[in-house]
Amino acid sequence: MIKFLRISGMALALATASAAGSVASSPATIPAPSEAPIAMLFDMSSGQILVQRDVDRRFVPASITKVMTLFLAFELIDQKKLNPDQIFTVRPETFEVWHNQGSRMFLPRDARVSVDDLLMGIAAVSANDGAVVLAEGAVGSVDKWVALMNAEARALGMRDSHFGTPNGWPDEGRTYTSARDLVTLARALITRHPNEFARYIGREGFAYNGIAQPNHDPMIGAVKGADGLKTGFTNEAGYGFLGTAQRDGRRLVMVVAAVDTGAKRKLAARELMEWGFASHTVRHLFNAGSPVAAAEVQDGETGNVGLIAQGTINASFAVGTQPNVKLTVRYEGPLQAPIAKGEQVAELEILVDGQPPSRVPLVTDRAVAKAGPFQRLLNGLKALIS
């Protein structure tokens, strides 16, 4: 059964009061993403889409594909199935195919290279050779790696994505994605793997084998708070970019795709991100780790569990407006014990007047063990009394 919990008026009143200092000027004009046939701007702290154009249209991502390869690697590291200190050897066959194919980190034949260096090369200089060596070394073959990429995409709910390579090299259209799916992927990578994101993503460049190369990210060093993620280009795909920036605890994620020149991609990305920060303000709702509500628990040692914000939660709205904000917690309940601490079990729905609702995940504040026989009896008695 879907449970609905309306957040108390007190919590909302406090949130409203925190926005009293908002700038009261006219909303900025949206920069026409005319230079980007596909465009999306997403506020991670509120779950709101600020700009969208053809966000479900499938397109070829080119090297943006490598963000899924990085995400999969981070997942395997978290599961202790991959270690940054591991050393992989460049197979002669892999060298023959990839030593001169597009962007690369110039891995020599038979080189022994660490997973850490491979991840740096993939993230910072879009290393096609590095992505293949990582895939082969981690799971034995590119085919097995690609199968895992697609399994991760399905698990994340990326309904308009499929991967045929670990690096985005042209594969006759077998690899495709959408702007909405890329935002979903970026959101998962940043939220689940903040340490790896900070280490590998957003570097200005990378040097390997005596060769220093710059990162071609169009926003790093040019847009305040910009810290990744990935560009992409092939003749088939055009120019695309999945990027993010954070200011004052507020993180925006953007996609521009199918752009016909690199200069237009750069302009569209920078204008869209700057517009997102300048034209929208936020109403602060909850700090990371703050209690939001409680959910019912069945067959647990306690009858409820606290729901907390995983990160900062805001409501975004146009500068110069003060709309009403309604908050509702939604979860499939009662929850069934046992429950792990930090498990995502609910969502906070944020409804801002004049905007479609958005949702931000909530996690449990503690573990709840399954009740023993005596506790189940007590729970039953409490239920009868209530």
Q: Say which CATH number the domain at 214 has.
A: 3.40.710.10
Same domain? 240 vs 380: no
Same domain? 303 vs 167: no
Which residues make Cβ contacts (< 8 Å) with residue 375, sequence separation at least 6?
A: 301
Same domain? 115 vs 211: yes
Residue with tokens 């850490």: 116
Same domain? 323 vs 190: no
Measured between alpha carbons, how far is 125 from 118 in angstroms, rounded to an integer? 10
Task: Report if residue 188 sits inside a domain.
Answer: yes
As a whole number, mean pLDDT of residues 329-344 equals 91
Same domain? 233 vs 345: no
Return the higher-pLDDT residue of 190 and 321: 190
In this prediction, residue 232 carries a pLDDT of 97
**Partners of 295 in beta bridges:** 305
Same domain? 174 vs 294: no
Same domain? 230 vs 295: no
Task: Report if residue 97 sits inside a domain.
Answer: yes
Q: Is the pLDDT of residue 28 over 70?
A: no
Task: Report if residue 294 sits inside a domain.
Answer: yes
Number of H helices, E strands in the chain: 10, 18
Q: For residue 72, give Cα distances in angstroms to 256, 313, 323.
A: 23, 26, 40
In this prediction, residue 26 carries a pLDDT of 34
Q: Among 279, 309, 329, which residue terminates a domain?
A: 279
**Partners of 254 in beta bridges:** 41, 243
Return the higher-pLDDT residue of 377 and 10: 377
pLDDT band at 27 (very low <50, low <70, confident <90, very high): very low
As a whole number, mean pLDDT of residues 84-92 equals 98
Q: What token pair was written down for 315?
A: 């409501």
As a whole number, mean pLDDT of residues 24-43 equals 66
* The model's pTM: 0.85
Same domain? 262 vs 319: no
Task: Report if residue 169 sits inside a domain.
Answer: yes
pLDDT digits (tens, 9 = 90+) for 216-243: 999 999 999 999 999 999 998 999 999 9
Task: Report if residue 195 sits inside a domain.
Answer: yes
Measured between alpha carbons, how far is 120 from 111 in angstroms, rounded to an integer? 16
> Total structural domains in the chain?
2
Task: Report if residue 28 sits inside a domain.
Answer: no
Task: Report if residue 26 sits inside a domain.
Answer: no
Q: Among 222, 246, 279, which residue terminates a domain?
A: 279
Q: Is the pLDDT of residue 302 over 50?
A: yes
Would strands 335-336 and 291-298 be described as parallel, antiparallel, or unpaired? Answer: parallel
Task: Report if residue 29 sits inside a domain.
Answer: no
Same domain? 270 vs 309: no
As a whole number, mean pLDDT of residues 75-85 equals 98
Which runs of consecutive H residues, i.e. helices, occur in 140-178? 142-156
pLDDT digits (tens, 9 = 90+) for 134-153: 999 999 999 999 999 999 99
Burial class of residue 168 (count of CB atoms within 10 Å of its CB; 0-12, 13-18, 19+): buried
Q: Among 279, 298, 313, which residue terminates a domain?
A: 279
In this prediction, residue 139 carries a pLDDT of 98
**Range picked from 82-86, 289-293, 338-342 for highest mean pLDDT:** 82-86
Same domain? 235 vs 154: yes
Q: What token pair was written down for 74?
A: 């981070």
Domain harbouring 12, CATH code: 2.60.410.10
Same domain? 269 vs 289: no
Same domain? 266 vs 291: no
In this prediction, residue 355 carries a pLDDT of 83
Peptide bond into 334 cis (omega under 30): yes
pLDDT band at 248 (very low <50, low <70, confident <90, very high): confident
In this prediction, residue 148 carries a pLDDT of 98
Domain span at residue 361 reads 2-21+285-385
Return the higher-pLDDT residue of 355 and 329: 329
List of E strands, the chain: 2-6, 38-43, 48-53, 87-89, 112-114, 205-208, 211-214, 226-234, 238-247, 250-259, 280-286, 291-298, 304-309, 313-318, 325-332, 335-336, 344-352, 358-364
Of residues 146, 120, 124, the one with CA closest to residue 135: 146
Q: How many CA atoms lie within 13 A of 138 on its CB side?
A: 35
